[in-house]
């Protein structure tokens, strides 16, 4: 009888272990929130590195390895949605911490995750060459594109312009060339400098034919001058050339 009571008492204490694990996870969650609130480019890279090398582990073996959680070869659309939402939040924190939250926006749309850059973040007015200060931004984006969870996803780089004619030159005679060259230069940097697989990425220039605002004011035209990096959903990958 006494032995049975000890067994019942031991079983009743099992909830303490579960409760302790839950409190540990909550503590980790709030530490991450605090870290993200003060994130800068260097912290961003450190966080991404810890995810990739599997070092994000709590005492007692509780894993925080993002890659391990995202790496399933049969990632469902629902899981991809969760992954995109996580990256959206991370990128928004990064943009805010670097003072670029008005110049970089992230959204989840029908086609997939869209990282949108206003043109002056990456380029000088009327130019298609990447600005030196844009390189670190693209380095951080490349780290995401090369994560195991997304390294098989197809990517589109899309250049857009407003209706204002460019200052004519033989190299860039119209907004068609300007938008196409800008998208291509972003693609080339990601592939040639950051080792994004060229088989999974393509670029397009749309001139002013896909605006996100009417081209009727200076402010709206600024919104239309942009480069979008799109991580495509599976349903849209199927219509892309392989």
- Rounded Cα distance between 23 and 26, Å, is 5
Nearest to 154 by CA among 197, 205, 109: 197
Mean pLDDT of the chain: 78
pLDDT at 81: 78
Secondary structure of 94-140 in HEC code, one letter for each residue: HHHHCCCCCCEEEEECCCEEEEEEEHHHHECCCCCCECHHHHHHHHH
The whole-angstrom separation of Cα 119 and Cα 12 is 62
pLDDT interval class at 236 (50, 70, 90): confident
CA–CA separation, 158 and 79 (whole Å): 26
What confidence score (pLDDT) does residue 27 get? 64
Q: Which two tokens stand for residue 55?
A: 């070092």
Q: Tell me the torsion sign for CA atoms 70, 73, 79, 82.
A: positive
User: How far is residue 12 from each of residues 4, 20, 57, 172, measured CA to CA in Å?
Assistant: 12, 15, 29, 75
Identify the pLDDT of residue 77.
64
How high is the pLDDT of residue 69?
A: 45
With a cut of 60, say whether residue 36 has pLDDT above it.
no
When mean pLDDT is compared over 53-62, 124-133, 136-145, the highest value belongs to 124-133
Contact status, residue 200 vs residue 154, Cβ threshold 8 Å: yes
Rounded-to-integer distance, Cα 73 and Cα 158, Å: 28
Average pLDDT over residues 141-161: 90
Taking the C-alpha atoms of 130, 136, 142 and 148 in order, what is their torsion angle to the nearest 10 degrees? 180
Per-residue pLDDT for 190 more than 90?
yes
Confidence of residue 171 (pLDDT cuts 50, 70, 90): very high
Distance (Å, rounded) from C-alpha 194 to C-alpha 147? 12
Which pLDDT score, from 0 to 100, does residue 205 have?
A: 98
* In the predicted structure, residue 60 carries a pLDDT above the cut 50: no
Q: Is pLDDT above 80 for 157?
A: yes
pLDDT band at 85 (very low <50, low <70, confident <90, very high): confident
Residue 78 has what pLDDT?
72
Looking at residue 217, its pLDDT comes to 96
Residue 57 above 90 pLDDT?
no
Tokens 């407003």, residue located = 162
Domains annotated on the chain, with CATH: 77-237 (3.30.1330.60)
Strand order in the sheet with 226-232: 104-108, 112-118, 226-232, 155-160, 201-205
The mean pLDDT value for 58-76 works out to 40
Give one word for 218, left, alpha or beta, with left for phi > 0 and alpha for psi -120 to 50. Answer: alpha
Q: Which two tokens stand for residue 211?
A: 């605006």
181 pLDDT more than 70: yes
Tell the residue number behind the tokens 């302790």, with chain if given.
20
Q: Choose from 61-75, 83-97, 153-167 the range with maximum mean pLDDT.
A: 153-167
Ranking 31-35, 119-123, 133-137 by mean pLDDT, the lowest is: 31-35
At residue 59 the predicted structure's pLDDT band, cuts being 50, 70 and 90, is very low
Of 155, 136, 52, 145, nearest in space to 94 by CA: 136
């Amino acid at each position: 009888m006494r032995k049975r009571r000890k067994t019942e008492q031991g079983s009743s204490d099992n909830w303490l272990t579960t409760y302790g694990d839950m409190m540990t996870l909550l503590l980790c969650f709030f530490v991450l929130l605090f870290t993200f609130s003060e994130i800068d480019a260097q912290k961003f890279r450190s966080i991404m590195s810890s995810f990739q090398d599997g070092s994000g582990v709590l005492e007692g073996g509780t894993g925080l390895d993002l890659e391990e959680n995202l790496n399933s070869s049969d990632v469902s659309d629902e899981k991809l949605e969760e992954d995109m939402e996580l990256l959206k939040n991370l990128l928004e924190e990064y943009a805010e911490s670097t003072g670029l939250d008005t110049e970089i926006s992230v959204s989840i749309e029908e086609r997939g995750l869209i990282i949108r850059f206003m043109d002056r973040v990456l380029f000088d007015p009327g130019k298609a060459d990447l600005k030196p200060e844009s390189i670190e931004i693209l380095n951080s984006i490349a780290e995401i594109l090369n994560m195991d969870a997304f390294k098989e996803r197809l990517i589109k780089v899309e250049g857009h312009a407003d209706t204002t004619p460019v200052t004519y030159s033989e190299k860039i005679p119209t907004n068609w060339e300007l938008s196409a060259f800008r998208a291509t230069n972003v693609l080339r940097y990601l592939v040639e400098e950051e080792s994004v697989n060229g088989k999974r990425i393509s670029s397009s220039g749309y001139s002013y034919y896909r605006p996100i605002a009417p081209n009727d004011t200076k402010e709206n035209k600024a919104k239309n001058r942009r480069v979008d990096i799109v991580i495509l959903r599976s349903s849209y990958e199927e219509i892309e050339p392989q």
